[in-house]
Structure 1
């Protein structure tokens, strides 16, 4: 598929995806705060994935724009699903809470941890989460993957959003810190035998990771 064909298809999907008033509020709030949020295509993908992986289960959302990504995941989880949102900024948590309330999501279906992700994730219960979604700096992504794998229940899924940096990792001339870190992460994932992973052209480039339960213990 050519780049122009992919762009045309993405634009069509985004333009024809219906979203709730609560999601519209969340997008407006994210835009006002200058946050990068999942587009309509990606948000609908998250809802579909959560309806399969997280129905009445637990998820973790590491994202400044949890008002959008968290809402998309909660939309597919069912009435007994629960999301733990991790972000250091109180204002991000406040708008996410407002978006969840606007969507009639009960307060016992989510919690907010105002902490640095790599510091707090080690304190979460191991093998207790069916989905972990993260928007994180490439320099921290490798450590996050290791910590997230410990949290996944069997059959669970990790989603790294925008981690392929719009494909700049394929450009050898790009040697900046973020691109170099994203490139190292991509190489390390390809070398691992304890996981399965897939790269998708969603957003700036998404990576899905699941544990290979049949791999020998390290």
Structure 2
């Protein structure tokens, strides 16, 4: 039997899959906004994954923690059915405003109910309704990822899906020699959740700097 993966050019595979997605005008507008604000944005590969996950999940109520300039927001909305709802949270008012403008100028703002909240996620999330979201994306500063992930899990319904962007902390989690506090927190979060086998199913993807999928049973 042939062994798959032997001799695979991983760099070529990564480059091909990263360049493969064809982005919409709305996504390109969001990327331009992110660049003008100096805001980090999910890659085209991750954006297309978010769209597919939102569509296959048939998510009615979505939570995004870390709006940025709206690239991931638009990607999620493109996979959601008309009439569904999204709540997006970011600590930076200028980024929230730019994302809101992009959404309202597109068809997405007309087809979905989008609530934007400016504030610190660690203070905002405890005020949201527990067990009310079908899908949640966590894309926040590395130093608060661990706490934010657990807060987001509590907000998901049974059967909900959590998506954690930059789960590998720019790749440092994969380096056993990296033992700084932030990397240790990411590593602990990934492993501790994976061990809760009665409560979740998990998958760790090597898209960009790591995407961690957690299905809440």
Q: TM-score, normalised by structure 2?
A: 0.88
* Residue number in structure 2 paired with 1:149: 153
Listed as ranges, the matches of 1:52-67 within 5 Å are: 52-55=56-59, 57-65=60-68, 67=70
- Pick aligned residue for 1:82 from 77, 81, 85: 85
* Residue number in structure 2 paired with 1:105: 108
CA displacement 1:87-146 (0-9 Å, x = unmatched): 011111111112212322236610111111121111111221100001123442332232
Separation in structure 1 between the aligned mates of residue 31 and residue 101 of structure 2, nearest angstrom: 12
* Closer/same/farther in 2, CA of residues 82 and 188 from structure 1, 3 Å limit: same
Separation in structure 2 between the aligned mates of residue 209 and residue 16 of structure 1, nearest angstrom: 25
Unaligned runs of 5+ in 1: 213-218
Separation in structure 1 between the aligned mates of residue 196 and residue 132 of structure 2, nearest angstrom: 23
- Pick aligned residue for 2:42 from 38, 42, 55: 38
- Pick aligned residue for 1:18 from 10, 16, 22: 22
Matched, 1:73 2:81: no
* Residue number in structure 1 paired with 2:175: 171
**Does the aligned pair in 1 maintain the 2:166–2:211 contact within 8 Å?**
yes
RMSD between aligned residues: 2.1
Superposition deviation, residue 38 in structure 1? 1.0
Separation in structure 2 between the aligned mates of residue 3 and residue 102 of structure 1, nearest angstrom: 47
Unaligned runs of 5+ in 2: none
CA displacement 1:147-191 (0-9 Å, x = unmatched): 222211221100000121243213232222321221221232233
* Closer/same/farther in 2, CA of residues 69 and 3 from structure 1, 3 Å limit: farther
**Which aligned segments of 4 or more residues in structure 1 are displaced greater than 6 angstroms?**
none
Q: TM-score, normalised by structure 1?
A: 0.88
Separation in structure 2 between the aligned mates of residue 20 and residue 208 of structure 1, nearest angstrom: 24
Superposition deviation, residue 47 in structure 1? 0.4
Separation in structure 1 between the aligned mates of residue 171 and residue 8 of structure 2, nearest angstrom: 15
**Does the aligned pair in 2 maintain the 1:10–1:41 contact within 8 Å?**
no
- Pick aligned residue for 1:198 from 198, 203, 210: 203
Secondary structure of 1:106's partner?
A: helix
